[in-house]
Amino acid sequence: MKIKKAVIPVGGLGTRFLPYTKVIPKEMLPIWDIPIIQFIIEEAINSGIDSILFVTSKEKYSIEDYFDRNFYLEYFLNKNKDKEKLDILNKIPQNFKIYSVRQKEARGLGDAILHAEDFISDDYFAVFLPDDLIFSKKPVIKQMIEVLEKYRKPVLGVERVPWKMVDAYGIIKPRMIAKRIFEIEDIVEKPKKNKAFSNLGVVGRYILPGNIFSYIKKTKPGVKGEIQITDSLRILMKEQGILAYEFEGIRCDTGNKYDYLLAILTYANMKKDLKNKIKKDIKKIFKIKI
């Protein structure tokens, strides 16, 4: 089963990154040398996706511009025979179609996904939340597509989160059916620790069915007074069943300043040319004896 389309909500104001995000989308923040959104697009393309819908808002146009060509810059670098810089530009993925739709009001993730209704005509599509960056050998959405192919049901990416953090996630009640694969028996958005079914939290990767929109329309405002996709999924789960997949990979939350810093260090640790240098410099900064 092929998944060709993905929806990426990028409408959030990114207030945790103010003042920076007054003019720059948080999705454009760099992880060392690449903006967050490029990792997400690479994961999508490497999973076979070729059309992306950005659900955007004001001040987010630089995301679309980033994946467009800049002929003047190319002309300038060509004129100066600056092959190294041209190579950097050429590494930005081009082989996908970009669509965008504006979410005029921040009414929640369910509402953001509902904006994709006219874009989706397929049985299944993917949703990526760019706050969740996942480093893995096989792209996580590809891993999830394999689960879909086997079981023909919607799939949510999940991971064990610290118990004290369960109130930041959609939390599932799992019934294991195979290694890393669970039938979801219940799901709740941001529960208190004593109300959580488990510590298996939904991270920002979803494979949703094309009929999800009718469930979103039935969903009443939930946590924070917003239309939560978790609440729509709960209705869908009862009628169609949903699976959760505990993916293989290292997830970094880039949605707050501290975890963002850790994401950069995690990435640096995976790069041969940076790893040792950073280690040495960190020891120096923190005055750790070697």
d(CA 155, CA 212): 13
Candidate residues 57, 199, 219, 228; the one interacting with ligand G1P per rule CB under 6 A: 228
Cα separation, 242 vs 154, whole angstroms = 5
Spatial neighbors of 177 by CB under 8 A, at least 6 apart, are 183, 243
Nearer to ligand G1P, 77 or 253 (CB): 253
38-46, 113-121, 195-203, 266-274 -> range binding ligand G1P (CB under 6 A): 195-203
Q: Is 203 in the site for ligand G1P (CB under 6 A)?
A: yes
- Residue 90's contacts (CB-CB under 8 Å, 6 or more residues apart) are none
Reference 59, options 97, 31, 21, 30; nearest CA is 21
Residue from 43, 189, 207, 232 in contact with ligand G1P (CB under 6 A):
189
**Residues 35, 130, 201, 249: which binds ligand G1P (CB under 6 A)?**
201
Query: Radius of gyration over alpha carbons of the chain, in Å?
Result: 20
Nearest to 146 by CA among 8, 242, 2: 2
Nearest residue (beta carbon) to ligand G1P: 170
Q: Is 109 an interacting residue with respect to ligand G1P (CB under 6 A)?
A: yes
132 interacts with ligand G1P by CB under 6 A: yes
Alpha-carbon gap, residue 43 to 245, rounded angstroms: 17
Q: Which residues in 151-170 contact ligand G1P (CB under 6 A)? A: 169-170
Closest approach, Cβ 288 to ligand G1P, in A, equals 32
Sole binder of ligand G1P in the list 53, 120, 144, 202 (CB under 6 A): 202
Closest CA to 152 of 113, 179, 123: 123
Q: Which of 43, 111, 131, 231 binds ligand G1P (CB under 6 A)?
A: 131
For residue 128 the two structure tokens come to 């990526």
User: Residue 137 corresponds to which tokens in the numbers above?
Assistant: 């050998």
Stretch that binds ligand G1P, among 57-65, 146-154, 201-209, 258-266 (CB under 6 A): 201-209
Q: Nearest distance from residue 268's CB to ligand G1P, in Å?
A: 23
Cα separation, 175 vs 195, in Å, equals 18
- Judge whether 43 and 35 are in contact, CB under 8 Å: no
Interface characters, 57-96, with ligand G1P (x: CB under 6 A): ----------------------------------------
Interface contacts to ligand G1P, rule CB under 6 A? 109, 129, 131-132, 169-170, 189, 201-204, 228, 230
